[in-house]
Structure 1
Amino acid sequence: MNIEVSTANMKFLECFSSETRVRIIELLREQSRNIKGLSEALGIQPPIVTRHIQMLEEAGIIRSELVPATRGMQKLCILQLGEATLNFKRPEETHVPGCHRTVVPVGQYADYQVSPPCGLVSGAKRIGMCDDPRYFGDPERMNARMLWFARGYVEYRIPNYLVRGERPCMLEITTEICSDAPCSTSETPSDITFTVNGRELGTWTCPGEFASPHGKFTPHWWTKTQYGRLKTVRVDGSGTFIDGVRTSGMTIEGLDIRPGAELRLRIASLDTARHSGGVSLFGSGFGNYDQDIEVNLWYDHHNNAETGS
């Protein structure tokens, strides 16, 4: 994110004038927390924490989700912004990277290997029979708005629109996801692993599946898993991060992204996973976020002299 230093962006800039708000960012960088947890870590009262959280949310630095708790629901605070660049010069004097954006529906995977329990649903019905992996190859899978599997993977081929003179500098992948479990308990954790071009980026451990409350965009006829967590995987020149937390040393250069060569994104529940709770993927029209898998490939411009071509 590029932020121009101006009075128009005071809401963002003022977030860093408070030591408490910077400390909140530090705490959320370690892990997502609820208001009570932040209050205890900071040693200040929850109402004061809430005011700071509202300010950080308005600036787009963090986001909040309502998630199941022991008693009812709790507000979980999540660090959303991975990085920001402050532009002190006028926009025409500042180099801003370009970006190729691609949106991929969850049913448009190019390869798969899944084990039951598994299945797919469109916005109106189940696709094929539940727990039968053969239907992952059915042409109607293209209409899927949600899918789940216990073990295995789905792999997407992401178009790469880089041209000569464009050098990748950051890759961001955002999707709504949780454990597989239409028939299991909400306490089932799952290690979900992301790879691109065969390089492992990192693993996120989902605490479980979320069967209630009803997903904001989930059709009313669907009574199983309702929503997931919105996760962002970012790869840049310094490493790989999931929601701002470093998961590996894999850099954008290590992904070997070249003009014209598609990206292979794999989302998997590995046989070797410590927590094997499976995967549920949500697309537009399902879950709490009305979106499909979003892929942003940021790039810098470079000339022929830099490449020796």
Structure 2
Amino acid sequence: MKNLTLNMDNALSVCKAIANEHRMNILKILSHGPHNVNELSEKLGLPFSTTAVNVKKLEEVGLITTELVPGRGTQKINSKNFDRIVIDLFEGDIEFEKNTISIEMPVGEFIDVHAEPSCGLVGEHDYIGMQDDPRSFYETDRHQAQLLFFKNGYVEYRFPNRVPYGARPSEIEFSAELCSEAPYFKLDWPSDITLWVNQTDVGTWTSPGDFGGERGFNTPKWWGIHNTQFGLLKTWKINREGTFLDGVNISDITISDLAITENPYISLRFGIKEDAVNVGGINLFGKEFGNYRQAIVMNLRYENQK
């Protein structure tokens, strides 16, 4: 799946181009394969001249490409360039972002795990090891995992600590796509998923269910629709005011409680507590599964000492 990512400065022309029913229908038709203008005109039920004008508009903003190909003579064939358009509505503060360390951790790069069935690792093209066998989490190609799941247990990662010596961490943020783990999928299947940072419990999110029945945007076609397809993107943020889950304060744990500068790495653990009310497991998604093209992302902000 090929994405077009836009910011607020360059999104307007694309938005204007697709704010038209005929052009949207052209993109739908081209999703099934290349067409020339005559073919598009027939399928749309529009005059050739009207179709050509709309094709030109889409071509001008780069959403489609027109190529000359041999056939009965030479003909112009139109192809779609992108599957998805993403608009970034965040206008970053340059000075603020300059002191931000961003690291994306593949879901298969864990350093510790305890997984109880149902459990498994899934790569982009096939299972890694055997389904429902905890030994699969120790396979040498586990680093290629794009989805991991277990009914009970935990998985732990270690991010490199790149805070400059003498600087002071001010905020740390983790985001990941995850959901509960049920046999096949079950929309009503709550699970209490807890996050630990440097062995400190920073809060629990109760996932409402295990989502399937419709394919995730990035989920490979070989992965059956009856299996888990996507999760929800959740963000934990810890700063001097406390811990926040998707912007809502959930804990009094602050960044000073995490002892970041005292450790050579930053530990992150997702798991189900032994005393959890809802033991509904975890699905954790990589870039090639689910609805969000990301793995586990850490953003760590710091201040230079004056």
Is the contact between residue 185 and residue 212 of structure 2 (CA under 8 Å) also seen in structure 1? no
Give the aligned partner of residue 141 of structure 2.
Answer: 140
Give the aligned partner of residue 104 of structure 1.
Answer: 105
Give the aligned partner of residue 191 of structure 2.
Answer: 190
Task: From 275, 281, 298, give the equivalent of 1:272.
Answer: 275
Give the aligned partner of residue 296 of structure 2.
Answer: 293
Which consecutive residues of structure 1, in runs of 5 or more, have no partner in the other structure? 1-7, 9-56, 62-83, 304-309
**Structure 1 position 166, deviation (Å):** 1.3
Is the contact between residue 193 and residue 268 of structure 1 (CA under 8 Å) also seen in structure 2? yes
Rounded Cα–Cα distance in structure 2 between residues aligned with 1:60 and 1:198: 34
**Structure 1 position 184, deviation (Å):** 4.9
**Structure 1 position 271, deviation (Å):** 2.3
**Structure 1 position 212, deviation (Å):** 2.2
Is the contact between residue 185 and residue 211 of structure 2 (CA under 8 Å) also seen in structure 1? no
Rounded Cα–Cα distance in structure 1 between residues aligned with 2:151 and 2:119: 6
Rounded Cα–Cα distance in structure 2 between residues aligned with 1:248 and 1:118: 30
Give the aligned partner of residue 161 of structure 2.
Answer: 160
Rounded Cα–Cα distance in structure 2 between residues aligned with 1:288 and 1:244: 21
Amino acid at match of 1:168: P
Amino acid at match of 2:112: D
Amino acid at match of 1:292: A
Is the contact between residue 101 and residue 294 of structure 1 (CA under 8 Å) also seen in structure 2? yes
1:226 aligns with 2:236: no
**Structure 1 position 187, deviation (Å):** 1.0
**Structure 1 position 183, deviation (Å):** 3.0
**Structure 1 position 259, deviation (Å):** 6.2
Rounded Cα–Cα distance in structure 2 between residues aligned with 1:178 and 1:96: 30
Whose Rg is larger?
2
Give the aligned partner of residue 57 of structure 2.
Answer: none
Rounded Cα–Cα distance in structure 1 between residues aligned with 2:165 and 2:120: 41
Rounded Cα–Cα distance in structure 1 between residues aligned with 2:182 and 2:163: 38
Deviation string 1:204-245 (CA, Å, 9 cap, x unpaired) is 011001012100000011121000000010000000011011
Rounded Cα–Cα distance in structure 2 between residues aligned with 1:114 and 1:277: 13
**Structure 1 position 282, deviation (Å):** 0.3
Rounded Cα–Cα distance in structure 1 between residues aligned with 2:128 and 2:88: 41
Give the aligned partner of residue 128 of structure 1.
Answer: 129
1:202 aligns with 2:203: yes
TM-score (norm 1): 0.67
TM-score (norm 2): 0.68
1:213 aligns with 2:214: yes
Identity across matched positions, percent: 41
Is the contact between residue 97 and residue 300 of structure 1 (CA under 8 Å) also seen in structure 2? no
Rounded Cα–Cα distance in structure 1 between residues aligned with 2:204 and 2:253: 13
Amino acid at match of 2:241: S
**Structure 1 position 190, deviation (Å):** 0.6
**Structure 1 position 115, deviation (Å):** 0.6
**Structure 1 position 163, deviation (Å):** 1.9
Which secondary structure state, in structure 2, belongs to the residue aligned with residue 135 of structure 1? helix
Rounded Cα–Cα distance in structure 2 between residues aligned with 1:101 and 1:284: 16
Is the contact between residue 185 and residue 228 of structure 2 (CA under 8 Å) also seen in structure 1? no
Rounded Cα–Cα distance in structure 1 between residues aligned with 2:261 and 2:210: 37
Is the contact between residue 161 and residue 259 of structure 1 (CA under 8 Å) also seen in structure 2? no
Q: What is the number of equivalent residue pairs in this alignment? A: 221
Rounded Cα–Cα distance in structure 2 between residues aligned with 1:130 and 1:175: 23
Is the contact between residue 107 and residue 148 of structure 2 (CA under 8 Å) also seen in structure 1? yes
Give the aligned partner of residue 34 of structure 1.
Answer: none
Rounded Cα–Cα distance in structure 2 between residues aligned with 1:292 and 1:59: 18
